[in-house]
Amino acid sequence: MTILHLAVLAPFLFAILVPFLFKYFRKVHTGWFVLFVPLILFIYFLSYISVTSDGQAVMQRMEWVPSLGINFDLYVDGLSLLFALLITGIGTLVILYSIFYLAGKEERLNHFYVYIMLFMGAMLGVVLSDNIIVLYVFWEITSISSSLLISYWYAKKASVYGAQKSMYITVFGGLSMLGGFSLLYVMAETFSIREMIGNADLILNHDLFLAAMILVLLGAFTKSAQFPFHIWLPDAMEAPTPVSAYLHSATMVKAGIYLVARLTPVFAGGAEWFWIITAAGIFTMAWGAISAVRQKDLKAILAFSTVSQLGMIMSLLGAGSAAFYYMDGDNALYTTAILAAVFHLINHATFKGSLFMVAGIIDHETGTRDIRKLGGLMTIMPITATISVIGLAAMAGLPPFNGFLSKELFFTGITNVAQYDMWNGDTIGMLLPVIAWIASIFTFAYSAIIFFRTFRGKFKPDMLPVKEVHEAPAGLLISPIVLVAAVLMISFFPNILAYSIIEPAMMSILPGILGEGSNFYVDIYHWHGINLELMMTLGAVIIGTIIYVTMNKWSKLGIYQNEQDIMTTVYDNGYDALIKGSQVLTRIQMTGMLRDYIVYMVIFIVLIMFYTMFRFEGFQISMENASEIGIFMYLILAALVITIMLLPRVNNRMTAIILAGFVGFLVAFIFTVFRAPDLALTQLMVETVSVILFMAVFYHLPNLTKDNIAPLTKAINIVVAGSAGLMVALVSMSAFTYGQTTPFDAISEYFIENSVELAGGYNMVNVVLVDFRGLDTMLELLVLGIAALGAISMIKLKVKEDDDV
């Protein structure tokens, strides 16, 4: 195991220690111990900048399940390093902020820090894994740990609802993504992302390309809150504010962005990837911006703004993917979008993290986040107001802040689509800048709403739960100040990260396009002259200002008063319908009668088996090579048939037990005749134990003289039993014939040839059970052991019938 592997596993390992630290160091806030984990990891990942800035990458391998090609391989290039630095850097500031935000609260903080460590480790695993199966494992851990964080205040119904919604939607996407990964393996015959990129042409021309792409994008869109899967993100605001700041700025919502960026070299070059991502992103951007204006809660406004900003980045990745289709000529025409995506990814982390922390500070000091109750806080909380104005100006895309720089690049990248001479870019692509401009108008509007409704206007102390409002303590201000300092640093020195972080990330997204021979350079600057992008910015500011100034008029409209997203209504109604449907199905299926359960299971097995056998021409019956059966065997079979036919007609419980045991012993006799003593011995043991158990519960057996079964039920039972018997007979005869009348080898030939050589056993049945099916047999024994322990516990407890259990 390498240091890189330890870096990914460190948060998980430290999560084990958190409960002990909380227990034995109660006078010290647990966060002070946790803080050093992301800080050390951040410093460690900084050491890779010298490697990635030279265009190099680091691969560290560790075998996990090598026989299946599943290995814990970690890959550090420009893209994964960017995300690792965001995860650990923002994580450090979030934990520092949470120490003061959660100070003095009578809560089990060990839970909070365990969850956040799990989440941090899972995110590092996602962005650094080269193996898609390992990536998927970490991906689902992010879903689980984020749900635990969202429901941290589990006594609140809204917290539980938000956690459940995020879990349902993101896990649905994760399972879809797993299906896409499986198809990728079928196409590329590897789980390695590096090797898939090398086989991109093979994947692009494969029949399964579109299905795999859609399934993978479902995972990315659900995680990164793209329409219509965005509805989980606003409800996730019920989490503590440090969690919201972490999820929205650097981690969970960026996982889908990372996945799209990482797999762009695999799927790009086709119109489907380009249009699905670009269209979904630009629509999400507009939907989120318009929805944010309708919100009255600070965190809700910021949540929908995150949806909008994520859509913006996603659309840029889609637009930039065209570079793989047209790799010659002016690279800047296609790669400007990727530059804007990477640059805005960094900028968004800085200003959005600081804004969420400010929202937490306002809630912490005033007791509310409702903008209708806030106002006039600028003079009371001047430092918080200063942080806000910088973050909001960056988010609104105002010069000279970093958000303006990346927004101008965004306008350039989106307007360039209209110049694409493929995929109808020169026609349909004309709509993209229009939608982007409309979204930018509302982005400015909700940024103005946050600032002026919170910090300007009249102070309303009577509407606040807190009697005395004052500036936040220094501990709460440190983290957002660091983030806005980063905003200002990038704003005034825009190329400070150009060749150390941004260009290596771009080269990871566009391998083979950027590099030697490329005429594209990362050169970010403020003044581009009077051009279309500047006019779009001025128009957004003017119209956005008009929207804010006239807000008192149009805010009376019903669409503004209704804060709930229409897709949330669709989700709630669908969820309720699913619950009601499952209840109806449960009432039909869960009758409380064992007979019904067996009937359902047998019907399903019979239908699936018959369909499979007919579909793949599995019924191949021939008795040419069958051995002769002597008269003695016919006598045994006749006795067996007669006994079975007598069983349903017996009214005496003792007689029924004896006949059932007799059937089992006759089967054991058949095994003996066919020289299978181990099976015969097993059968004898099972029948002996069964008879003993029947005798032990003899007085509790149903009275067989009372036959209340309806004729229709009897008929169904006869048909089902007959179908099951017919299925077993036909499958058994087909298995006997398989390999004799078909061009395929029977599976038994494999065991015959390899039982001695591979397992060292001459009894093929034993070898199959113990070696070839060793894990299956072990799990069966585990189930039997659990059942035995359950039975022993019930006997020991001696529960009486009138006991309340």
What's the count of helices (H) and strands (E) in the chain, helices before strands? 34, 4
Residue 645 resides in a domain:
yes
Q: Which domain holds residue 714?
A: 593-756
Residue 478 lies in a domain: yes
Q: What is the rounded distance in angstroms from the CA atom of residue 217 to the CA atom of residue 370?
A: 35
Quick check: 563 pLDDT over 80? Answer: no
Q: Are residues 379 and 511 in the same domain?
A: yes
**pLDDT-derived band at 689, boundaries 50, 70, 90:** confident
Write out pLDDT tens, residues 381-392.
999 999 999 999
Share of the chain above pLDDT 90, in %: 50
Cα–Cα distance for residue pair 276/227, rounded to 1 Å: 12
Is there a single domain that holds both residue 635 and residue 607? yes
pLDDT grade for 605, boundaries at 50, 70 and 90? very high
pLDDT for the residue 797: 74
Please indicate, yes or no, whether residues 573 and 675 belong to a single structural domain of this protein: no
Each residue's pLDDT tens digit, 314-371: 999 999 888 877 655 556 677 889 999 999 999 999 999 999 999 999 998 898 988 9
Q: Residues 764-773: what's their mean pLDDT?
A: 80
Residue 53 lies in a domain: no
Q: Which residue has the tokens 């965004």?
A: 410
406/532 same-domain check = yes
Q: Is residue 796 part of a domain?
A: no
pLDDT (tens digit, 9 = 90+) per residue, 660-680? 888 888 888 888 888 778 778
Does residue 663 share a domain with residue 640? yes
What pLDDT shows up at residue 516? 58
**Residue carrying the six token digits 């809204």:** 158
Cα separation, 169 vs 568, whole angstroms: 12
β-sheet bridge partners, residue 60? 74
Q: Do 704 and 668 fall into the same domain?
A: yes
pLDDT tens-digit series, residues 85-104 = 999 999 999 999 999 998 87
Q: Which residues pair with 297 in a beta bridge?
A: 370
- 472-483 residue pLDDT tens: 899 999 999 999
The residue out of 555, 579, 602 marking a domain boundary is: 555
* Same domain flag for 582 and 612: no
Sequence-ordered strand ranges (E) for 29-127:
58-60, 63-65, 70-71, 74-76
The DSSP string of 354-403 is: HHHHHHHHHHHHHS--BTTT----TTTSHHHHHHHHHHHHHHHT-TTSHH
Read off the pLDDT of each residue in 723-740 and give the average, rounded to a whole number: 80
Torsion on CA atoms 324, 326, 331, 337, rounded to nearest 10: -60
Rounded Cα distance between 364 and 469, Å, is 10
Residue 631, pLDDT score? 82
CB-CB neighbours of 119 under 10 Å: 27
Q: Is residue 121 part of a domain?
A: no
Which one of 756, 772, 787 terminates a domain?
756
Q: Each residue of 506-531: pLDDT tens digit? A: 999 988 777 655 666 788 888 888 88
- Non-local CB neighbours of 761 within 8 Å, separated by 6+ positions: 755, 767, 770, 771
What are 254-310's pLDDT values in tens digits? 999 999 999 999 998 788 999 999 999 999 999 999 999 989 899 999 999 999 999
**DSSP code at position 616:** T
DSSP 297: B
- Please, is 612 exposed, middle or buried when counting C-beta atoms within 10 Å of its C-beta (0-12, 13-18, 19+)? exposed
Query: Domain check: are 312 and 450 in the same one?
Result: yes
- Residues 6 or more apart in contact with residue 557 via CB below 8 angstroms: none
Last residue of a domain, one of 590, 609, 644: 590
pLDDT tens by residue, 30-61:
899 999 999 999 999 999 999 999 889 999 99
> How large is the average pLDDT for residues 605-610?
91
With 90 as the cut, is the pLDDT of residue 695 above it? no
Model confidence pLDDT, tens digit, residues 403-418: 999 999 999 999 988 8
Same domain, 420 and 488: yes
Number of domains the chain contains: 3
**805 band by pLDDT with thresholds 50, 70 and 90:** very low
Q: What is the pLDDT of residues 448-471, one digit of tens each?
A: 999 999 998 888 888 888 878 889
Q: Which token pair is 36?
A: 């050093």
**Residues 315, 383 within the same domain:** yes
Residues 586 and 603 in one domain: no
Report yes or no on 519 lying in a domain.
Answer: yes
Does any domain span residue 266? no
**pLDDT value of position 521:** 76
**Which one has a higher pLDDT value, 538 or 658?**
538
In whole angstroms, what is the distance from residue 715 CA to residue 707 CA?
14
Helices of type H across 397-520: 402-415, 431-455, 474-492, 503-509
User: Do residues 581 and 637 share a domain?
Assistant: no
pLDDT tier, 707 (very low <50, low <70, confident <90, very high otherwise):
low
In the predicted structure, residue 164 carries a pLDDT above the cut 80: yes
For residue 658, pLDDT beyond 60: yes
150 within some domain: no
Task: Please report, rounded to a whole number, the percentage of residues in the chain having pLDDT higher than 70.
Answer: 94
What's the angle, vertex CA 299, arms to CA 295 and CA 300, rounded to 5?
35
Residue 160, class by beta-carbon neighbours within 10 Å (0-12 exposed, 13-18 middle, 19+ buried)? middle
Q: How confident is the model at residue 559 (pLDDT cuts 50, 70, 90)?
A: low
Q: What is the pLDDT of residues 202-236, one digit of tens each?
A: 998 899 999 999 999 999 999 999 999 999 998 88
